Amino acid sequence: MYTKEQLHKDLLKDLRAHDYSYMYSESEEVWLKAKQTRFDIQFRILNLVIMHNYNREHLLNECLSLFTPQYLEGLAHREINKFFNILNQ
């Protein structure tokens, strides 16, 4: 079982390493790997916010702060916001 510290560390690591443009790839291998990483990211966000009572807005801001300001207007910014929108469903 993961500790909340390990979940948090792995979430930030996956967000940095995730291929945000995977959906444009013609490689099935790239697409499948990125889909799994996307699932893992969403699982960690849900687990941290729901099970470990992390503040949603604080965690979202921390995740967005991993990227430079000019990068925030791009695909990564939109995808990270989508990851957190699953909490609204």
What are the sequence ranges of the domains in the chain? 32-89
- pLDDT tier, 76 (very low <50, low <70, confident <90, very high otherwise): confident
Helices (H) and strands (E) in the chain, counts: 4, 0
Question: Half-sphere exposure (CA, 13 Å, Cβ side) for 4?
Answer: 11
Tell whether the model's pLDDT for residue 67 goes beyond 70: yes
pLDDT digits (tens, 9 = 90+) for 11-53: 999 998 888 787 778 889 988 988 899 999 999 999 999 999 9
What confidence score (pLDDT) does residue 89 get? 60
pTM: 0.84
